[in-house]
Amino acid sequence: VTTWWARHAWLGGNATAAGVVLEAEAGRFTRVDPGVAAPPAGARVLEGLTLPGFANAHSHAFHRALRARTHDRPGSFWSWRDLMYEVADRLDPDGYRRLARAVYAEMALAGYTAVGEFHYLHHGPGGVPYDDPNQMGLALVEAAAEAGIRITLLDTCYLRGDVDTPLAGVQRRFGDAGVDGWVERVSGLTEIDGAAIGAAIHSVRAVDAKAAAVVSAWAGDRAAPLHAHVSEQRREHETSVKRCGRTPLQLLDRAGALGPAFTAVHGTHFDEKDVERLAAAGGGCCACPTTERDLGDGIGPFAALAAAGVRLCLGSDSHAVVDPLEEARALEVDGRASGERRGVFTPDALLRAATVDGMAALGWDSGRLAPGTRADFVVVGLDGARTAGCDPGQAATAVFAATAADVTDVVVGGRPVVEAGHHRTVGDVVGALSAAVGAVVG
Ligand SMILES: [Zn+2]
């Protein structure tokens, strides 16, 4: 049994609790008691503000290699995608593992304790499978284990370049031999220890209705998380309506994708009916605000989704920024800029999106400081310039003042991963990132 005493901890709501005893055994909390004035004997003292571990519900690890390398020219998501493909083309299983290990270690330092990796770079050059056709996915699972964070490998079906366009160039590495090939390959992944397996439909561009139905049924049979990019781009949304007479979400609904295990990633250009449809199905929506702003996607109808009862979560997606607190803050402040009003989301709602609701979207019983749940938590330091003078009794101090740089300690399954800002197993995260990115950008 390990015991901690947190000077301040967020247990839900807009206020924080003082003097909270946390006890864990076999990776789960066995006791969470607020209002304990002094640390019990033998307890580790957590200064600052303790919160549940953050969930990164949408990640493409290798996109990290593009950070700050695409800003010297105008363009859109589509021109950025060409640059991203160049990086994808240079990765082999070993380089992929090294890059993902460094990126997941960066995530750990930032307070993420679980990642949902939307994984579509499956095969070797020209689309030729590796000896083990899941070698690239396994590289990601190994990388997460080395970085000390949980992973939900969202193995992504990606079968065509666009409606009526076959896979071309580097995209051939993303494809399988039809949806049956995807099923056969992914079914070989179910025995992995320490990682959850989920499914993803890349988009209605890349997966036709029949294949989307097969992927949905595969996930449904296993009660596995099912994610899909939906209406990220205006062009994608409008093309779907023009060519199929239906929005991307409508197409996915007809394929049987929607339900409580479904997460729509982005939803930037959802119409009102999409919002109602997703809410009625009990599905969730993953906002990726720092990527959506970086790519010029637009700002999604997140306030409307939340008002309709859709569970929101957050992802750092392209990793233009890796900061769960910035991601949570953006949900509110981007909405302020576009909606011309403040306070749509409470600090409590923002932190729930960053923690428990993201964990649920990834299939993890985590993201709360509560007995029985997984002992994943982070400590946000309150002794820095950004948080000085802020009220430790307010959850807003974490979400409206602190950044990833204020995260001091990270514990996953009761085991310390980051201590006093130092990653215990990876050690030199900066060196690991520099080397791994350098190897793929040339
Ligand atoms: Zn994505």
CB 8 within 8 A of CB 392: yes
CB 156 within 8 A of CB 120: yes
Report pLDDT for 363.
97
pLDDT in tens, the chain (442 residues): 999 999 999 999 999 999 999 999 999 999 999 999 999 999 999 999 999 999 999 999 999 999 998 888 888 888 888 889 999 999 999 999 999 999 999 999 999 999 999 999 999 999 999 999 999 999 999 999 999 999 999 999 999 999 889 999 999 999 999 999 999 999 998 766 669 999 999 999 999 999 999 999 999 999 999 999 999 999 999 999 999 999 999 999 999 999 999 999 999 999 999 999 999 999 999 999 999 999 999 999 999 999 999 999 999 999 999 999 999 999 999 999 999 999 999 999 999 999 999 999 999 999 999 999 999 999 999 999 999 999 999 999 999 999 999 999 999 999 999 999 999 999 999 999 999 999 999 6
Residues designated as active site: 266, 317
CB 283 within 8 A of CB 263: yes
- Residue 60 Cα to ligand 1 middle (Å): 6
SS3 303: helix
At 231-280, the pLDDT tens digits run 999 999 999 999 999 999 999 999 999 999 999 999 999 999 999 999 99
Report pLDDT for 410.
98
Report pLDDT for 278.
98
Q: What is the pTM of this model?
A: 0.97
- Token readout for 178 is 């039809």
- Residue 226 Cα to ligand 1 middle (Å): 14
DSSP state at residue 328: H
Report pLDDT for 72.
80
User: Residue 384 class from Cβ within 10 Å (0-12 exposed, 13-18 middle, 19+ buried)?
Assistant: middle
- Residue 199 Cα to ligand 1 middle (Å): 14
Q: Taking the alpha carbons of 210, 214, 219, 223 in that order, is the dihedral positive or negative?
A: positive
- Residue 380 Cα to ligand 1 middle (Å): 28
Question: Concatenated DSSP letters for 34-58?
Answer: ----SPPTTPEEEEEEEEEPEEEEE
- Residue 159 Cα to ligand 1 middle (Å): 16
- Residue 427 Cα to ligand 1 middle (Å): 28
Compute the distance between CA of residue 413 and CA of residue 431 in angstroms, rounded to an integer.
Answer: 26
- Residue 229 Cα to ligand 1 middle (Å): 6
- Residue 295 Cα to ligand 1 middle (Å): 11
Report pLDDT for 413.
97
Sheet holding 54-59, edge to edge: 54-59, 112-119, 150-157, 195-201, 226-230, 262-266, 284-287, 311-314
SS3 417: strand
- Residue 114 Cα to ligand 1 middle (Å): 16
- Residue 39 Cα to ligand 1 middle (Å): 43
Give strand ranges (E) for 359-406.
377-380
- Residue 315 Cα to ligand 1 middle (Å): 9
Report the DSSP pairing between strands 407-412 and 377-380: antiparallel
Report pLDDT for 193.
63
- Residue 291 Cα to ligand 1 middle (Å): 9
Report pLDDT for 377.
98
